Amino acid sequence: MYCLYGVGIETERAYYYRKTIPDSNILNGGSDDEIPTYETHLPYIMDASVNEPERHVHFGTRSSDGDVSVPLISLGYMCVDKWQNSKTLNPSNINITTREYKHREEFQVNDPMRGGPHSADHVDILGNVDAVTDLLKIVTDFETDGLEDHIVSDIVPISQKISKHNAL
């Protein structure tokens, strides 16, 4: 099995919320001329006041490495850890090869909408020359012996930390 995905782009990963205090007048029926706001109807809203740049938190949104759409932990954890080390999740013990593609955006005059031939963006990766080359090798079974793990992110130590924590 092959895991092919892009990395190297700041990606939303978590959000901070705060509890709202509903307007008691609205809850008791209120008057017809009052326009309810989201804070009067939602028990929690995003807390945009939380800012911790050292932890990659900006306006209530925590970011991490990823492909701009999916965070690294969701892209690679199963590939580099669970499917490799779990008899339950990989009972046939099939080989897992993980190939990461580091985002390198390049402007192309003839294709200004994409990030270029080395983009690792969630959708652009379909045009990443290295990913397409690997994919063609896989589907044609041509020179797949040369396709080994290629990991450029911190997914291995992150996965080890999670597995160590879960073992407690």
Looking only at the bridges linking them, the beta strands covering 9-15 and 17-19 are unpaired
- pTM listed for this prediction: 0.80
DSSP for 1-61, please give it.
Answer: -EEEEEE-EEEEEEE-EEE----HHHHTT--TT----HHHH-SEEE-TT--BGGGTEETTE
For residues 130 and 104, the answer to whether their CB atoms sit within 8 Å is: no
Kindly state the tokens that stand for 49. Answer: 């006041």
Q: Model confidence over 95-108: pLDDT tens digits?
A: 999 999 999 988 77
Distance CA 67, CA 5 (A): 8
Q: State residue 131's pLDDT score.
A: 96
Kindly state the tokens that stand for 88. Answer: 């339950």
Q: Model confidence over 59-118: pLDDT tens digits?
A: 999 999 999 999 999 999 999 999 998 999 999 999 999 999 999 988 777 777 778 889
Give residues with Cβ within 8 angstroms of 164, minimum separation 6.
none
Three-class DSSP category at 115: coil
